[in-house]
Amino acid sequence: MAETWIHHYTPESKQQPKQCTEAGCSAPKKTRSVPSAGKVMASVFWDAEGILFIDYLEKGKTITGEHYSNLLTRLDKEIHEKRSCLQKKKIIFHQDSAPAHKSVLAMGKLRDLHYELLEHPTYSPDFAPSDYCLFPKLKLFLAGQRFSSNQEAIAAVRGVFCRSYEAPL
């Protein structure tokens, strides 16, 4: 499970468009721009086979222990529907140490679901696979695009993940 903000506008990266019309010339200077204020939080639950589901939380809302516990219930349902081969196997679950993830409600839900929790050492970015293999492709695709609503941004995210990681959500 991992979370990332999806902005209504994300500027292009410095690596994007590297255009040069003549040999020896440098790429044009770009003005500095910042992400838009409109955004939605995407909580992505995935495994080696692809995306299980994505939950979207609007700007101004918070992921609480109760909300996260409800997401874990939904995750279990999605696993049973999409990965029926895992029903009789032990599920090893990885999450970071965000307060909502470590809340009494969330930890109780993980225990009730019989998920084995893989510890996430503090300040260990190498244990954050979403930051290296999932979100960079998404952010690269979204860079430079403008969305007028959360629904447009969500549709774009679904489009990326449907093409890259699984059948339609």
Residue type at 26 in one-letter notation: S
Q: What is the mean pLDDT of each run of 10 residues along the chain (169 residues)?
A: 84 55 56 65 89 89 94 95 85 88 95 89 66 80 90 91 53
- Strands 2-7 and 50-58, sheet pairing: unpaired
Domains and their CATH numbers in the chain: 2-13+39-164 (3.30.420.10)
DSSP element (H, E) containing 139: helix 135-142
* The predicted structure's pLDDT at residue 18: 47
Which stretches within 8-134 are classed as H helix?
65-82, 104-112, 129
